[in-house]
Amino acid sequence: MKKDHFDSEKMRKIIQSPLQIGNVIVKNRLALAPLAGTTEVVFRSICNQFNVGLTTTELVSARGICYDPKLIRNYCYLEIDPTKEDQVSIQLFGHDPADFTKAAQIILQHPVLGKCSMLDINMGCPMKKIVKQGAGSALLTNPILAQRIVNSTAEVAARYNKPVSVKIRSGWDRESINAPEFAKLMQEAGSAMITIHARTREQIYSGSADWNVIKQTVEQVSVPVYGNGDLTDLDSISKMYDQTGCAGFAIGRAALGNPWIFREILNNSCRPDRVDLVEVIVKHLDGMIVKIGDESVAIKKMRPQLASYLKGKRNAAKIRNLIMKANSKQEILEILNLIQ
């Protein structure tokens, strides 16, 4: 019992320590992994309130940005708020190095987006429509192209003093696990950090993450490696650290509806009570209404996220059903009164 407490405190000290990524110092070892549809500026700002060290936007098409240089369509996905976000990375996907050169330029010369901490390149997305273009996890099968993409992005980013990182998976399928060698090539091309989701593309999100591949990747590179896949609490982080020695920990699904997870892990703080929970849900909702500019559209978009805040609550199923039909903030506020 005493030893457990000692080990937890030792692990907390490691997690609380800063990490250097290129010329950027991240205040602690916890990151919010990018989650399309969730990790937009409002949710990321809330995670910052609970002390997350690093967050990332959802993946945005480098080519899409090239076709939209004034960022009329893409700004909502790229948006950051340097007044509420500490370290934030902007994630791009694509398959053409020239697109990355141009997109990086557009982002980094923008008065607000240029304040991001770094650029991240998606080499892990398993979705057919992305992979079909040769982007996302398809790049794991084409390390030469992947290197050219990192190189092109890093060349532009260096002019703005920003590091570039990559987010990869273990490999394409179980017969072609190549993350360790691949990560080394990305480091040689200019990647200052690697995040590895320890599943193959074939697994999508099924089965469990094989953290041994994280360990092998850590052994191959000198840049910091964030381990990712199935982290849910201090205990799983301690296990990943013991097994892999990775420098940072990226938490994805376990942060959905649970931005407190970062504070809990860092400071052993209590779970939120009902008042805290409702306060954060309303803040998230209000932020989305302002961002989208239309209450009912914002609520429709946010229904799944609102529902995710209810995990583990006694009458969650009933409240979730009501949320799925709600169209106004007033209705949501009345529904939230049912939380016990």
Active site residues: 125
Q: For the residues of 36-49, what is the DSSP string, one character each? A: TTT-SHHHHHHHHH
Residue ranges in 67-142 assigned as alpha helix (H): 75-78, 97-108, 128-131
Cα angle 75-81-83, degrees, rounded to a multiple of 5:
160
The interaxial angle of helices 212-220 and 234-244, nearest 10 deg, is 50
> What SS3 state is found at 127?
coil
Distance of alpha carbon 192 from alpha carbon 296, whole angstroms: 42
Site for ligand FMN (CB under 6 A): which residue of 27, 115, 253, 329? 253
Q: Are 170 and 196 in contact (CB under 8 A)?
A: yes
Shortest CB 252 distance to ligand FMN, Å: 3
197 sits near ligand FMN (criterion: CB under 6 A)? yes
- Positions 146 through 175 that interact with ligand FMN (CB under 6 A): 167
Phi, psi of 98 (to 5 degrees): -65, -35
Q: Segment near ligand FMN (CB under 6 A), from 30-38, 77-85, 99-107, 293-301?
A: 30-38
* Cβ proximity to ligand FMN, 254 vs 278, nearer residue: 254
* Cβ proximity to ligand FMN, 2 vs 128, nearer residue: 128
Distance of alpha carbon 16 from alpha carbon 83, whole angstroms: 22
* Cβ proximity to ligand FMN, 240 vs 289, nearer residue: 240
Q: Are 233 and 265 in contact (CB under 8 A)?
A: yes
Site for ligand FMN (CB under 6 A): which residue of 16, 49, 58, 220? 58
Site for ligand FMN (CB under 6 A): which residue of 42, 47, 223, 251? 251
**Stretch 271-310: interaction string toward ligand FMN, x if CB under 6 A:** ----------------------------------------
Q: Segment near ligand FMN (CB under 6 A), from 155-163, 251-259, 296-304, 330-338?
A: 251-259
94 sits near ligand FMN (criterion: CB under 6 A)? no
- Cα–Cα nearest to 103, from 65, 155, 67, 149: 65
35 sits near ligand FMN (criterion: CB under 6 A)? yes
Site residues, ligand FMN (CB under 6 A): 33-37, 58-59, 91, 122, 124-125, 167, 197, 205, 228-231, 251-254
